[in-house]
Amino acid sequence: MPSFTIKSYISVFIVTLFLSCEKENTTKSPNSTPPKVVPKEISITITKDTVFQKIAGFGGANRMWGTQFLKPKAAKLAFGSSEEDLGLSIFRVRVPSDTNEWPLILESVKEAQKYGAKILACPWSPPAHLKNTKSTIGGHLLPENYGAFKDYINSYINYMNKNGVDIYSVSIQNEPDIKVTYESCDWSSDEMMNFLTKFGNQIKNTIVSAPESFNFNRNFTNSLLQNPESAKNIGIVAGHIYGNGLGTIPLAEEMKKEIWMTEYLLNLNTGNANAAPWNLYSETAIFEETLEMLRTIHVSMKSNWNAYIWWYLQRYYSFIGDGEQGTPLDAVLKRGWAFSHFSKYVRPGYNRVGVRSSQANDLQITAYDGDNSNVVVIINPTDKPIILTSEFLKVSSAIAVETNVTSNRKALTTEVSNNKVKTTISPKTIVTLVAKS
């Protein structure tokens, strides 16, 4: 074995040190800056000559029971048009089965109507004495009492009218096709068809909406429309989207009926037994669910529906805080800011128009035309930023606002040139772009 000289030891040390440094240099430092994500560039074209449905509005519901109904401050935030408001345009309320409860919601509906909201009224049950069970829970409305129930609805409408409230639309029944253990009434499609055929045209000073199926059951809905007598007495085809209720309703479109989504709720299952309370969820988790809410609005619009109405508009999981689960009372919450990207900027009377994209992408985009403006609502559910260029027939100026987990209707920079508007869309965000012609 050859002997090592001092020079040999030095050489080995230098080589070992060099290899160690080289290996260390190939290992990512825990404090190193991650590589910069280059935004994907996408172009869209707004085609105003392709016109879809007319928008009736976006709204939310009053609390249905108890006495915690909408007060003036929250009503202004919900339905007002100031910078801090949400611009909702439809207010859903209950038709109580007891006339003694009618006065309790007067303040709420008057406040909502003051800001131009349309009032949609809905019974959860006819008066108990008109049903086979003599109870407001479950059971059926007796056929011999159909006329009396029609009179009850008319009395409610007249009471509201005399107190300065216009009931824009009244439903026949909330979720007639699902059995529950709270205030309710069971209706088959034949029963509702018979009621509408005989008495639908005798409900006065309002528009009748039906059937408000819990999952927009197409068989239930279409059966009412396939009967000419009941169909002519339905002004609004209404339903909920629990249990995969989203999608087109071709027969309603063919008959030129407005289609309203009148109830949906997401609350991270906090109403279920043994579920974690809302205030234990992170803002990120809450906003992920908010993105799912926004997706359902997008699909509703793409399905040519005219209105989208959320469940309670003032609740800890909703648009305006109620003081519970750590939410501030009478303050706009994250979900409200997100919803307002539709409700505040896509106004009643606007038409949805066409959008063409330059390439396949995961953005959820709808466009609307009204008041000499084009409104484009863009939802980016991905974790990638996007540089979006929107081309219009004519545009002179544009604004864009963004809501995500860290911002609420934050103003974005826009570049306007040659009838095109360029803006950057952050990951996991909703952006509304308003382009003036």
Assess whether 256 and 357 both reside in one domain: no
What is the percentage of the chain residues whose pLDDT exceeds 90? 88
Assess whether 311 and 428 both reside in one domain: no
| Model pLDDT for residues 281-322, shown as the tens digit of each residue | 999 999 999 999 999 999 999 999 999 999 999 999 999 999
Looking up residue 330, the CATH number of its domain turns out to be 3.20.20.80
15 found inside a domain = no
20 found inside a domain = no
Task: Say how many Å lie between the first and final Cα of the chain, rounded.
Answer: 90
Residue bearing tokens 């699909």: 299
For residue 35, the model assigns a pLDDT of: 67
For residue 254, the model assigns a pLDDT of: 98
Last residue of a domain, one of 305, 332, 348: 348
| Model pLDDT for residues 115-171, shown as the tens digit of each residue | 999 999 999 999 999 999 999 999 999 999 999 999 999 999 999 999 999 999 999
Assess whether 275 and 357 both reside in one domain: no
* Angstrom distance (rounded) from CA 322 to CA 171: 27
Residue 5 reports pLDDT greater than 50: no
Assess whether 188 and 207 both reside in one domain: yes
Assess whether 332 and 392 both reside in one domain: no
276 found inside a domain = yes
For residue 240, the model assigns a pLDDT of: 98
Residue 378 reports pLDDT greater than 50: yes
For residue 13, the model assigns a pLDDT of: 37
Comparing 38 with 156, the larger pLDDT belongs to 156
Residue 173 reports pLDDT greater than 90: yes
Last residue of a domain, one of 331, 348, 365: 348
For residue 106, the model assigns a pLDDT of: 98
Average pLDDT taken over every residue of the chain: 93
Assess whether 258 and 274 both reside in one domain: yes
Residue 22 reports pLDDT greater than 80: no
* Angstrom distance (rounded) from CA 325 to CA 317: 9
Last residue of a domain, one of 323, 348, 373: 348
pLDDT band at 36 (very low <50, low <70, confident <90, very high): confident
Range of the domain at 431: 40-48+352-436
Assess whether 247 and 391 both reside in one domain: no
Assess whether 378 and 285 both reside in one domain: no
Residue 17 reports pLDDT greater than 50: no
| Model pLDDT for residues 204-246, shown as the tens digit of each residue | 999 999 999 999 999 999 999 999 999 999 999 999 999 999 9
Residue 27 reports pLDDT greater than 70: no
338 found inside a domain = yes
Comparing 1 with 437, the larger pLDDT belongs to 437
pLDDT band at 32 (very low <50, low <70, confident <90, very high): low
pLDDT band at 39 (very low <50, low <70, confident <90, very high): confident
247 found inside a domain = yes
* Mean per-residue pLDDT, 179-188: 97
pTM as predicted: 0.91
Residue 14 reports pLDDT greater than 90: no
| Model pLDDT for residues 350-366, shown as the tens digit of each residue | 999 999 998 899 999 99
33 found inside a domain = no
Assess whether 314 and 197 both reside in one domain: yes
Amino acid letter at 302? Answer: K
